[in-house]
């Protein structure tokens, strides 16, 4: 194999104020993940806090050959989620695998 494939991963932990059930949480998370997938062409899934009504841990992944471009794209995902109005970002981390 030749080339220089890079994988960038992002995990965001969200506070979801006012959510009163897992059904309501799933609806919010499902919609947010779909919007992020469509807009940024990344893989996205709920990866933690599955049974907590007011918390969500979301994972995003992008693949490419330029680590800087991937980090920038995931930075845009963070901004989008922050401005979405679906919840408040408690913490996030980005990791690029060479």
Half-sphere exposure of 61 (CA within 13 A, CB side): 10
CATH number of the domain within which 10 lies: 3.30.70.1120
Number of folded domains that form the chain: 1
DSSP 27-39: HHHHHHHHHHHHH
pTM here is 0.91
pLDDT at 14: 96
Residue 35 lies in a domain: yes
User: Which residues lie below 8 Å from residue 79, measured CB to CB, with a gap of 6+?
Assistant: none
Structural domain harbouring 73:
6-97
Q: What is the pLDDT of residues 27-79, one digit of tens each?
A: 999 999 999 999 999 999 999 988 999 999 999 999 999 999 999 999 999 99
47, part of any domain: yes
Task: Please report whether residue 1 resides in a domain.
Answer: no
The backbone torsions φ and ψ at residue 50, rounded to the nearest 5 degrees and listed phi first, read -65, -30
| pLDDT over 80 at 2, yes or no | no
33 in a structural domain? yes
* 75 inside domain: yes
- Is 42 contained in some domain? yes
Confirm whether 68 is domain-assigned. Answer: yes
């Amino acid at each position: 194999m030749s080339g220089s494939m890079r994988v960038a991963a992002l995990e965001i932990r969200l506070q979801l104020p006012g959510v009163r059930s897992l059904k309501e949480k799933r609806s919010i998370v499902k919609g947010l993940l779909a919007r992020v997938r469509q807009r940024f062409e990344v893989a996205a899934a709920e990866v933690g806090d599955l049974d907590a009504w007011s918390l969500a841990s979301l994972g995003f992944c992008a693949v490419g050959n330029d680590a800087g471009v991937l980090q920038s794209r995931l930075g845009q995902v963070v901004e989008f989620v922050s401005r979405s109005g679906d919840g408040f970002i408690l913490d996030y981390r980005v990791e690029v695998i060479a």
